[in-house]
Amino acid sequence: MAETSAKKFMVFFSIPLETMTQWKQVDAQEREASEKKMMQDWATWSTAHAEMILSTDVGGKTKNVAASGVSDTRNDIVLYSIAQGESHEAVAEAYQSHPHLQIPNSSIQVMEIKPMGWA
């Protein structure tokens, strides 16, 4: 795939707060074993899709900015990636096999990034 023909995408990895709260209540040994397996599966998946993934980062604390002011808020986004691919469909389909989806109630959103056109 030529770099110039590749489209870019923001990929959001979400887990509902309720699911995260329930996960923290699972027996520590069971949780650690599941997390270790998922990390291994994630590394395998990432290696297989390395050409597509430009970066992956962990989300942090969130602020809501409105005309009335700035406040602390929460959302379900835990990670995000910048990915590239030939089409929106191709990138989204690649994420259908992502280990993140092993987490109950989790989801992955793929959003195309386009230039603003005024810069």
pLDDT digits (tens, 9 = 90+) for 76-119: 999 999 999 999 999 999 999 999 999 999 999 999 999 888 75
| pLDDT on residue 66 | 98
| pLDDT on residue 115 | 87
Read off the amino acid at residue 46: S
CB 20 within 8 A of CB 85: no
| pLDDT on residue 1 | 44
Measuring CA to CA, how many Å separate 56 from each of 13, 24, 78, 84? 10, 24, 11, 12
Closest CA to 88 of 112, 53, 64: 112
Vertex 69, ends 108 and 15: CA angle to 5°?
20
Structural domains in the chain plus CATH codes = 3-60+74-113 (3.30.70.1060)
* pTM of structure: 0.88
Measuring CA to CA, how many Å separate 118 from each of 5, 6, 48, 80, 111? 21, 21, 36, 26, 20
Read off the amino acid at residue 85: G
